Amino acid sequence: MSKYFELLQRAAIMRGGDPVITWVSDAGRIELSNTTFLNSVSKAANFLVDGLELDEESSIDVELGNHWQTTVWLGAALAAGVQLKTQGDILFSDLKCAMSWQGPKESLVVVSRDPFGLPSKDVPAGFVNGSAEVRTYGDYFAPRWINELDVLIDSSESFNWDALGGHTRALQINYEISDGDCIGLLQPNDLLTRLALTVVLPAIAGVSVVLIDQPNPDLTAITKQEKVNRIISN
């Protein structure tokens, strides 16, 4: 059983209706409660395991910017015990990426950037339309193997769950984030930081995250509206 998935289930029981991920963009505002996030991660994890037939030897990368979908797919990989790796076996990215993709089509899963996750209708033939297919999977997920969790970053660093938690706690101390805080996040610059602050920290510290996905955000207004304790820019 994934330790991360156990924490997700516990958060849904303890803080079910409270927001855990909020996405603020020029296209609108989307709020995911702990329960909604658990359900979304469960559906995505089922798709990874049953739809794409990935296992603990497989790796994925997620390049969807500061969108709420990024947190769902990163969380799904942790829940399913699939490795996360820059330049992994399969890239989860958007339609724009598909239009210029030069690699094997089966190595790219197209995820919509629609505010509500509605699937793109014009995905080129041969690519997996992840936003459409994930909707056909159930929101009950049962991990099939014991997840020791290796998170590989640029093929040079490896983290098991305890090491990842320790790294996340170190970032929490560095950014002076208290348990239960609400943090605003401008786009982090690497996979490990995204994973730690948007996926692991909410699970281990009850932190909620506001993803600020705007070119010229009004940080004062966002801080007031979302009751943000601290905004992190890198």
Tens digits of per-residue pLDDT, 19-65?
999 999 999 999 999 999 999 999 999 999 999 999 988 999 999 99
Angle (CA) 188 45 207, round 5°: 45
Whole-number percent of the chain with pLDDT over 70: 94
Question: In the predicted model, is pLDDT for residue 147 greater than 90?
Answer: no
What DSSP state is assigned to residue 104?
A: -
Dist CA 92 CA 106 (whole Å): 11
CA-CA distance, 59 to 91, in Å (whole number)? Answer: 9
Query: Domains in the chain, please, with CATH?
Result: 3-232 (3.40.50.12780)
Percent of the chain with pLDDT over 90: 79
Q: Which two tokens stand for residue 6?
A: 């156990």
- How far is it, in rounded angstroms, from Cα 159 to Cα 152? 7
Q: What is the pTM of this model?
A: 0.95
AA identity, residue 116 = F
pLDDT digits (tens, 9 = 90+) for 177-220: 999 999 999 987 788 899 999 999 999 999 999 999 999 999 99
Task: Answer yes or no: is pLDDT of 139 > 80.
Answer: yes
**Tokens 């995204």, residue located:** 194
Q: Residue 37: how many CB atoms within 10 A of its CB?
A: 23
Residues 6-21 pLDDT 10s: 999 999 999 999 999 9
Are the CB atoms for 145 and 173 separated by under 8 Å?
A: no
Residue 150 has pLDDT above 60, yes or no: no
